[in-house]
A and B are shown apart, each in its own frame.
Chain A
């Protein structure tokens, strides 16, 4: 029984290690964006970041109001 648990643990550890290695490889492969960063692309990506930041803040606020409860 104990052997079986250790075997599963080793398998799981191997899976997470392989996944971490793969993520690292993907990050290396795509470390440099290929798209030409002209004025319009830069502005679009900046606005997109700001938009997502606003959405995240709004979700945090909603979470706060739900936790706080009415009144």
Chain B
């Protein structure tokens, strides 16, 4: 009898834990899936076409790296109940505060332009004009926040995140060589040696894995969701599952182009989708849908990351739990950043390629600062109490931060001065 009651008790405990997780789930999953935005999908498509399955192992390593960085934002948000922008102002003063806020605004806006480039390019494949895509995206993004409920917004976002898994059936339908895929995933190798070009691809993949807006987004999202210290373990699980899915999407996207476009020079994910359509109509269509979805998720998260940050600092009402008349400045900012970014894409002859390259450089001016502030804040005992970084977390965190700073800086330099890397 005892064992039956024990079993029942354990069953109830597991069910309760799952239900609690489903209530807490969101910020980690969304930020990690949004990490595979339009720029990310382009990078993965180009990586697969250039190196086949050979760099799958590297993408798998990036999952834990993303988790270690983002997990810190969960603890910081849940303990301080403040977004990253406000935390920087409070702890480091107005100089670093303004630097971070303005740099975030510029980086996010430029990234937003690239998301609209991705979305309009993906829909153009189906013959939909850019203006129609942008209007529909605006209506969807507006409808998601119209109800003034964080919960509604989050669940719609999770549905969009689920659509991002379209790369899995696409990869299966591409009929990859399973043995070669497993070999590429478990055996680290540098195809053709550690050349300047390979380094560029490695750095580009790192650049798409950790972006400054992610730190600001997840911390603000944790605060807006109302997560408390007791929810931190669930927040960690949420982030870990998100990191797993971000790797899954990246790996399957590489498998698609690595199988069907190996050896083809790919400049954009839209080009990859068109090329794949010539080989397999369905897989190409899935690639285009995946690119559009990635751009949409990225656009929603990035414009929110900025709006939350500015709202926190300027003291505006800045919660998705408020309706537009309760938080007019927050929603106006959310609308204006999107509208101006979309307008750039519609300008005939706008320097879109230059903007795409410039994003990487500007992001590098913000990423080191955001990461350094994160580590310092997580070591502030007065602020974090028992949730401050442990020695192991510091060793891992500092090591990753230094590596990210070094590699992302090299990437920015190689974007600015490609001749130095030849």
Contacts and interface: CB of A to CB of B under 8 A. Distances in A.
Bound pair (A, B): yes
Interface of A: 22, 26-27, 29-36, 41, 44-45, 48, 51-52, 55, 58-59, 62
Contact of B376 (A27, A35, A58): A35
A36 B368 CA distance: 20
Interface in B401-417: 405, 409, 412-413, 416-417
A35 B314 CA distance: 21
A36 B384 CA distance: 13
Interface of B: 89-94, 96-97, 313-315, 361, 364-365, 368-369, 372, 375-377, 380, 382, 405, 409, 412-413, 416-417
Contacts of A41: 376
A26 B313 contact: yes
A55 B365 contact: yes
Given A26-B94, A32-B93, A62-B417, A48 B313 contact: no
A27 B94 contact: yes
B389 to A, nearest CB: 13
Contacts of B313: 26
Contact of A33 (B93, B365, B375, B412): B93
A52 to B, nearest CB: 6
Which secondary structure dominates where chain B touches chain A?
A: helix
B94 A30 contact: yes
A36 B380 contact: yes
B416 A62 contact: yes
Contact of B92 (A27, A35, A62): A35
18 contacts: A29-B89, A30-B90, A30-B93, A30-B94, A30-B97, A33-B91, A33-B93, A34-B90, A34-B91, A35-B91, A35-B376, A35-B377, A36-B382, A52-B365, A55-B409, A58-B413, A59-B361, A59-B416
Specify which of A29, A30, A32, A55 lies most central, judged by the most chain B CB atoms within 10 Å of its CB: A30
Contacts of B417: 62
Contacts of B380: 35-36
Given A26-B89, A34-B90, A52 B369 contact: yes
Contacts of A62: 416-417
A44 B377 CA distance: 12
B127 to A, nearest CB: 37
Contacts of A35: 91-92, 376-377, 380
Nearest to A19: B314
A30 B382 contact: no
Contacts of B413: 58
Contacts of B92: 33, 35, 45
A48 B364 contact: no
A6 B372 CA distance: 48
A48 B92 CA distance: 13
A35 B416 CA distance: 35
A34 B91 CA distance: 4
A45 B91 CA distance: 12
Given A26-B89, A59-B416, 11 more contacts: A26-B314, A30-B89, A30-B94, A34-B91, A35-B380, A52-B365, A55-B409, A55-B412, A58-B416, A59-B361, A62-B416
A30 B361 CA distance: 29
A20 to B, nearest CB: 12
Given A41-B376, A62-B416, A31 B314 contact: no
Contacts of B376: 35, 41, 44
Nearest to A47: B372
Contacts of A34: 90-91
Contacts of B365: 52, 55
B100 to A, nearest CB: 11
Given A58-B413, A62-B416, A62-B417, A44 B94 contact: no
